[in-house]
A = this chain, B = another copy of it.
Amino acid sequence: MKEYQVALLGFGTVGSGVYRIISENGAQISHREGISLSVRKILIKDFEHEPNLALAPRELFSTSFDEVVSDPSIDIVVECMGGIEPARTFIIKALDAGKTVVTSNKEVMSKNWPAFEKAAKATGAGLYLEATVGGGIPIIRTILDSMQANNITRVMGIINGTTNYILTQMTENGQSFEDALKDAQALGYAEANPTADVEGFDAMYKLSILSSMSFHAHMPIEVIYREGITKLTKSDFETAQLLNYRIKLLAIGKKEGNRIEVRVHPTMIPDTHPLASVRGVFNAIFLTGHAVDDVMLYGRGAGCMPTASAVVSDIIYACHHDKAHKYMTFVNEESMSGDIELVKDFSCIYCIRLHVADKPGTMAAIAGAFADHGVSLKSVIQLGENDGVSSRITFLTHMASEFGVNEALKQIEKLDCVNEVESVIRVEE
């Protein structure tokens, strides 16, 4: 039986979970897979402040990355430290040394893809990243090993559990964003500084990876439109409910020919859509392929054991493919169909709520502004109280241009009869 030695960089939630699975299920993995896995080294910052020191034998721990990377017996380096440095340097050095790297770190991966790819190709080292997107959900493997014969035209997902928990609370319990965030922090779903989650950065990192894989073209984070959930109000959820929509933070990628659009923003989707019923910290990713049509994968997008499950599945996969199929992430990185055109002026349906003066001519002025910029309206709904002086009007557009809507709203904001553009939420059907 072939033996593989693993080094763990980082021993937090994910690293300790990987250690636990390899320790507890090692015999079973050997039986099923015909390989033997063992953890040979665990890199930590220092012995004094390491909280999980009791979870593995003392002799496995090391504070020296050089000791790890120079150990010729180590085949696979698992990076689960998170953050940019020293993760970036360690990954490059491990690949330079010809060691296969498995990572769960979406930020470092999405920000350094070209450098990692170059290093991996130079030495023939493998690089696996199933755990970077959707925790235990097998999304990367599905794209690469099950949808090979498909042109993927759309990827649309709930890929941040923290914000989905907050939005579920706001939808189901009428909580404010602030209260839902506090609850999420108390439950350990959100960090003390929640910016990466609630402003959509985490989803943006993951969408960069997901869309690059899906569309076989590198989509760096810089090309992704990003908008978080911090500005959503109770009124937005009331509007959504009345229109039979749910509000979700969606990561969306679409490809039509060579035209690609990639964006992360709060989105209204019909409450009958499979993504609408994804509640709490669960994640789900909806893929559309030209042959397979719609496929959705659902599961726990984070957490110790689900993410560790994905890491260990990558380790086993890497063992089976160490010669045959090395560049699983790269062979298909470049499009065969010429230059990709990145679409910033994408088309969408928009749900726009205005606070307006209740006087003759208001509707005509607003409708005129939309028409001036080619935005066609599907429905206009007056919701909520009307005090006789002002009212709230919700507009649902037909498919309209992002830039057109922005220009129309600039004009509408300046109208005397408009008190405020209260909310603009994109809609996917």
Give residues in A with beta carbon < 8 Å to B.
Answer: 17, 21, 25, 27-29, 31-34, 130, 136-138, 141-142, 145-151, 216, 272, 274, 277-279, 284, 289-300, 303, 305-306, 308-310, 312-313, 316-317, 320-321, 323-325, 331-332, 336
Contacts and interface: CB of A to CB of B under 8 A. Distances in A.
Contact of A28 (B151, B292, B293): B151
B292 A33 contact: no
A331 B34 contact: yes
One complex includes copies of this chain to the number of 2
Contacts of A331: 32-34
A29 B294 contact: no
Contacts of A289: 136, 309
Given A138-B142, A309-B289, A149 B29 contact: yes
A149 B292 contact: no
A337 B175 CA distance: 49
Contacts of A130: 146
Contacts of A147: 138, 309, 313
Given A146-B313, A147-B309, A292-B299, 16 more contacts: A25-B291, A27-B336, A29-B149, A31-B332, A32-B332, A136-B289, A138-B141, A141-B142, A141-B145, A150-B309, A272-B279, A290-B305, A295-B298, A296-B296, A296-B297, A321-B324
A242 B423 CA distance: 37
A4 B316 CA distance: 27
22 contacts: A25-B151, A25-B291, A28-B151, A31-B336, A32-B148, A130-B146, A136-B295, A138-B145, A141-B141, A141-B146, A147-B313, A148-B312, A292-B300, A292-B305, A292-B310, A296-B296, A296-B298, A296-B299, A297-B297, A298-B298, A320-B324, A324-B324
Nearest to A134: B295
Contacts of A305: 290-293
A296 B279 CA distance: 13
A291 B21 contact: yes
B292 A336 contact: no
A27 B335 CA distance: 12
Contacts of A284: 296
Q: Which 6 A-B pairs have the closest CB atoms?
A: A138-B146, A136-B292, A32-B332, A291-B309, A149-B312, A295-B299
Nearest to A294: B299
Nearest to A30: B336
A142 B298 CA distance: 12
Given A142-B142, A148-B312, A312-B149, A137 B295 contact: yes
A234 to B, nearest CB: 23
A299 to B, nearest CB: 4
Nearest to A311: B149
Contacts of A142: 138, 141-142
Contacts of A151: 25, 28
Nearest to A333: B32
Contacts of A316: 148-149
Given A32-B332, A145-B141, A293 B136 contact: yes
Nearest to A279: B272
A308 B336 contact: no
Contacts of A303: 293
Given A25-B151, A324-B323, A293 B306 contact: yes
Contacts of A279: 272
Which of A34, A274, A310, A323 has the most chain B CB atoms closer than 10 A to its own CB? Answer: A274
Contact of A148 (B27, B29, B136, B291): B29
Nearest to A337: B28
A17 B291 CA distance: 9
A21 B292 CA distance: 11
A143 to B, nearest CB: 10
A149 B296 contact: no
Contacts of A324: 320-321, 323-325
